Amino acid sequence: MKKRIFLVLLALLMLALVGCKGRAETIEASYTRADGTSETVTMKLASNTDIVLYSLYVPEDWVVIDQSASTMAYVSEENKSSISVAQWNLTSEITSIDTWWNNFHKKENSESFPSFTILEEGKETTLDGREAKNYTYTVAFDGMTYKYNVTASIDQGSIHVITYTSTEELYDETLEVVQGLILPNFKLK
């Protein structure tokens, strides 16, 4: 009898552990480069799906540095271009992507950085099949100009913000990977 109870409990524990795993740890993804060539890349899960409401995959050779309530990864020690994801609950002050952008993100950046320059604002796009908006801007500080590409979408009462950050010099080099691999493989729960 004890052996039977032990086996049943062990089976339940195994099912629970498998169920908690959620998304695959790695996936194979293909994209077409600007020069027309195709490439298949192994991507790894960067986000902690036990904590967050999304799955962020990055190329396997990228360095993941944060897997808490937000996620951050960068290309390499030589190329610190990075991708980060944050999520906020919608509130009475943040009710849409537009109110988040105008009353929070845009406002904070323009007040903090006199060099804040919007290159593209509110371009309609999709993120995991949901309506989204994209913003591109630059900020100069510490003698460097950084370029940001932000994609925001709303799902299940939260706004999800994916930010690609790079120096102006390296921006285009990694943007292709962000737009061709990372954003198309981003999944909301």
Distance in angstroms (rounded) separating the CA atoms of residues 124 and 44: 28
Could you list the residue range(s) of the whole structural domain that residue 164 is in?
23-188
For the domain that residue 110 is a member of, what is the CATH number? 3.40.1000.10
- Report residue 79's pLDDT band, with 50, 70 and 90 as the boundaries: very high
Question: Does 147 fall in a domain?
Answer: yes
Flag whether 100 is in a domain.
yes
pLDDT score of 67: 76
**pLDDT at residue 64, rounded to an integer:** 95
Mean pLDDT of 98-104: 94
> Is 47 part of any domain?
yes
Average pLDDT rounded to a whole number, residues 85-109: 93
Q: Does residue 6 form part of some domain? A: no
| Nearest CA among 105, 146, 147, 149 for reference residue 127 | 149
Best CA proximity match to 174, nearest among 145, 149, 143, 137: 149
d(CA 14, CA 36): 46
pLDDT band for position 123 (cuts 50, 70, 90): very high
125 occurs within a structural domain? yes
Determine, yes or no, domain membership for 5: no
Q: What's the confidence (pLDDT) of residue 5? A: 34
User: Taking the model in full, what pTM does it have?
Assistant: 0.84
10 lies in a domain? Answer: no
Given a cut of 90, is residue 159 above it in pLDDT? yes
Look at the chain and report how many structural domains it folds into.
1
Give the model confidence (pLDDT) of 10-63 as tens digits: 333 333 333 334 457 999 999 998 899 999 999 999 999 888 889 999 999 999
Question: Helical H runs in 33-181?
Answer: 97-100, 106-112, 171-177
Asked if residues 81 and 173 have their Cβ atoms less than 8 Å apart, the reply is yes
Residue 53 belongs to some domain of the structure: yes
